[in-house]
Amino acid sequence: MIYKLSRIDGVILIKENERVCIPFDPANTDYQAYLKWVAEGNTPLPAENT
């Protein structure tokens, strides 16, 4: 599982053939999963420069 910071806000979960753009919203279940992933000691990749 690879998360990458978004250029503007949120994070992107990179999947095969899919980009999942997740907002920083505590009520969003994908964001809750991301926070759990971070709490496990993981760090997202930096945002793209394009």
Partner 1 sequence: MPYGTVNADVITTSTAGGVLGAGNASIMKNRIINGAMVISQRSGTSSVSPTDGQFSVDRWKCRTDITGKYTFQQNAGSVTPPVGFSNYLGITSSTAYTVPSGGYYFLVQPIEGFNTADLGWGTANAKTVTLSFQVYSSLTGTFGGSLMNAANNRSYPFTYTISTANTWTTASVTIAGDTTGTWVGATNGSGIEVNFGLGMGSTLSGTAGAWAGASYYSATGAVSVVGTNGATFYITGVQLEVGSSATGFEYRQYTQELVLCQRYFWRKSGVASAVVTVGSGMAYNTTDIRCTLPNPVIMRTTPTIAFTGSNFEYEKAASARGTLSSIDSAYRSPEASMLYSGASTTATTAGQGAIWYITDSASYISISAEL
Q: Are 25 and 10 in contact (CB under 8 A)?
A: no
- Smallest gap from residue 46 Cβ to partner 1 (A): 13
**Separation between Cα atoms, residue 8 and residue 37, nearest integer Å:** 21
Which burial class, exposed, middle or buried, applies to 11 when counting CB atoms under 10 A from its CB (0-12, 13-18, 19+)?
Answer: buried
What is the per-residue binding string for partner 1 in 10-49, x denoting contact by CB under 8 A?
x-x----xxxxxxx-x-xxxxx----------------x-
**Residue with Cβ nearer partner 1 (25 or 42):** 25
Which residues make up the interface to partner 1 (CB under 8 A)?
Answer: 6-10, 12, 17-23, 25, 27-31, 48, 50
